[in-house]
Chain A
């Protein structure tokens, strides 16, 4: 039994799966957050959405930083 791909291919696959997805996640939740900020804050569901999207933006940022860190960019 061997690993399915070479070490370098695997590392780029992981980089895309982490950095790429995190970047998309960051953009997606940034757009969601900007839309949610226009809604009525007195609604508890809206507050939950805002907090969730803000956390999504944070996690997307962490993912991008981690991917850049892995490649020695930051």
Chain B
């Protein structure tokens, strides 16, 4: 029996996870917060706009939890989550800047740096030769800060202070991550990881 377990154990660990799973559904549902967010900004409802962006941020936290509860973590799910972050927060920043709720120059800097980050992640995936999401502890925190940044704009909470300090933090983190993504050796897949 022990011999059978040794053979089947690793095979079972490599099971396929369908992209149509609860965690990815939660991730996708984040896009549903964008139309009401735009409606709130267009009509000048600062509190509603803040709440819709807050819901978007909470769903970002919930999808990881759902993935663990339903045991449906996957490389695609992590990639989809990163794409949803970029689209939701990038779109949110453009909207608040377009309606004069946030300074345009820092928003343009943040979006430019965000595009540079996406390009480097693609290059990392090509170097790795597989669909993989580059994991960065600092970038995870920066993404949370980006969600907050939109909230600062919609609520009028120290907008100038938070928006002008953000690009400096982002440049520091991107410079560190750029070396890891483009220069440093790529670690192999972690056993048991999605």
User: A53-64 vs B: 1/0 string, CB under 8 Å?
Assistant: 101101100110
User: Would B47 and A52 count as touching, CB distance under 8 A?
Assistant: no
Q: Is A37 among interface residues, defined by CB-CB distance under 8 A?
A: no
Main SS class of interface, B: helix
The contact of B142 among A11, A29, A55, by CB within 8 Å, is A55
If A18-B148, A62-B169 touch, whether A5 touches B47 (CB-CB below 8 Å) is: yes
Q: Does B7 contact A (CB under 8 A)?
A: no
Please report the C-alpha to C-alpha distance between residue A10 and residue B27 in the assembled complex, in whole angstroms.
Answer: 27
Decide: B158 and A1 in contact? CB cutoff 8 A.
Answer: no
The residue from B138, B152, B155, B157 contacting A51, defined by CB atoms under 8 A apart: B138
Selected contact of B47 from candidates A10, A17, A67, CB within 8 Å: A10
Within 8 A of B (CB), among A8-52: 10-11, 14-15, 17-18, 29, 44-45, 48-49, 51-52
Number of A positions contacting B (CB below 8 A): 29
> Which residues of chain B in 155-180 are interfacial with respect to chain A, using CB atoms and an 8 Å cutoff?
155, 157-158, 161-162, 165, 169, 172-173, 176, 180
A residues with CB within 8 A of B:
1, 3-5, 10-11, 14-15, 17-18, 29, 44-45, 48-49, 51-53, 55-56, 58-59, 62-63, 65-67, 69-70
